[in-house]
Every structure is written in structure tokens, then in C-alpha cells.
Amino acid sequence: MMNQAQKIRSMMNQAQSIRLASSIEKRDFSFEIELLGTMYRSDQFTGDISPLTRLLYKERRNIQSLEQSLASQKQTHEMVEQQILEALKT
């Protein structure tokens, strides 16, 4: 059996949950993304945003590939530089 304080606390939690749910439904979730020189706003999409999602993933993969390539080139540069320095010492 609930005492008076527990009932009040429960009612306050329910009221807060209802307020939170209604504020989330009314909130305007928006975004703006620049991708390859083109600005995309959330109001441009009334339904399926999967084309934009695919483009974002593709560009992310391209960036990751470029970062890996750069790391490999840096490593190669360091190895060549080390070999040149060793050759100059002899």
C-alpha cells in the first residue's frame, strides 16, 4: 500500500513523463550538412533520406581510405629517409 508521499511522487513522475513526451513530439529536429560543396537541410527531405545516408557512408569510406593511404605513404617516406641517412653516414 502506497503512502501519501509515494502517491504524490508517482503522480509527479507521470506528469513529467507526459510533459517530456509531448515536448519531444513538438520539438523541431533539424540538421544542415555540407557534403561535397552542396548544402543539405532536413526540410529538403520529406520522406526517405537513404540516398543521403548512402552518400555520407560512401564519403566516410573514401576519407578512411585516404587516411590509410596517407599513413602508408608517411611510413614509406620515413623508411626511405632512414635509408638515405644511413647511406650518408657510411
Q: Which cell goes with 52?
A: 543521403
Gap between the Cα atoms of 44 and 38, Å rounded: 12
Q: By the 8 A CB rule, do 41 and 32 touch?
A: yes
User: Residue 77 has what pLDDT?
Assistant: 96
Q: Annotate 62-82 with DSSP letters as a single string.
A: HHHHHHHHHHHHHHHHHHHHH
34 phi/psi in degrees, rounded to 5:
-105, 125
Q: What is the pLDDT of residues 12-42, one digit of tens each?
A: 777 667 666 655 555 555 677 777 788 777 7
User: Residue 72 has what pLDDT?
Assistant: 96
User: Residue 48 has what pLDDT?
Assistant: 75
64 phi/psi in degrees, rounded to 5:
-60, -40
Q: What is the pLDDT of residues 35-88, one digit of tens each?
A: 778 877 777 666 777 877 888 889 889 999 999 999 999 999 999 999 999 999
